[in-house]
Amino acid sequence: MRSKFCAASVLSTAMLLSACDGTDTPPEGAPTEAAQAEWTPSAFAIPEGAEPVADMFIDCAFPNYDGQLGITITQNFLVLDGQTKRYDARTRQARDMCYPGMVGCSLEAGDGRIASDYTAPNGTRTETKIDAETLEVTKILTEPGKEPREVAFDGGCEAKPMPTLAG
C-alpha cells in the first residue's frame, strides 16, 4: 500500500521522540509560551464536542520514509476510554505525547479520526491524520520558511488487538 506521509527529517523525528517522553518537564529548546501567540491549530484538529472514536490500537510503520531507503519510522496510538495516547511496546505503557501546557503539540481523537500535531524545537511542524475506519494516513510537514508538503512513504497503519498495559 502506498500512502502519503509528510514528516520531519530523521533528526527532527529523534527530537520528537525525546520531546515526547511523557514527563512534565519541557525538553531543552521546546517552544515557549511566547510562541503560543504565533502557533495556529492544525487543519486536522478535532473540534470541541466531536463524536468520540471507539477504543482501538493502531500500529503504524512507514518504511522508506521521505524517500530515505532503509529508514522506517514507527508510531503506535491507543484510544481508550476517550483518551488518546502514544503506546510504547517496549515498556507496554501508554503515555501522553505532550507535557502539560506544551505549545505546538496535541494528540486527540474524534469525528472518525486520530490527529496529532507537533512542532519540534527547530520549528519543523508535523501534522498527522489517521482515518479511524480506513486507517489511511496523511502527514503534513512544514519546515521554517517553507510551504507545507506531503512526503511519500511505503507502508501505513493497521488496527491490532488491544495490548496489555504494564502496571
The answer as to whether 24 is a domain residue is: yes
The answer as to whether 165 is a domain residue is: no
The answer as to whether 32 is a domain residue is: yes
The answer as to whether 164 is a domain residue is: no
User: How much is the pTM?
Assistant: 0.73
The answer as to whether 166 is a domain residue is: no
Which positions of the chain have pLDDT values less than 70? 1-39
Full domain range(s) for residue 59: 2-159
User: Over the stretch 79-104, which tens digit does the pLDDT of each residue have?
Assistant: 988 889 999 988 999 989 888 878 88
The answer as to whether 167 is a domain residue is: no
Q: What is the pLDDT of residue 2?
A: 34
What's the total number of domains in the chain?
Answer: 1
Q: What is the pLDDT of residue 131?
A: 95
C-alpha cell at 166: 504494564
Q: What is the pLDDT of residue 47?
A: 84
The answer as to whether 141 is a domain residue is: yes
Three-state SS sequence of the chain: CEEECCCCCHHHHHHHHHHCCCCCCCCCCCCCHHHHHCCCCCCCCCCCCCCCCCCEEEEEEEECHHHCCCCEEEEEEEEECCEEEEEECCCCEEECCCCCCCCCEEEEEECCEEEEEEECCCCCEEEEEEECCCCCEEEEEECCCCCCECCEEECEEEEECCCCCCC
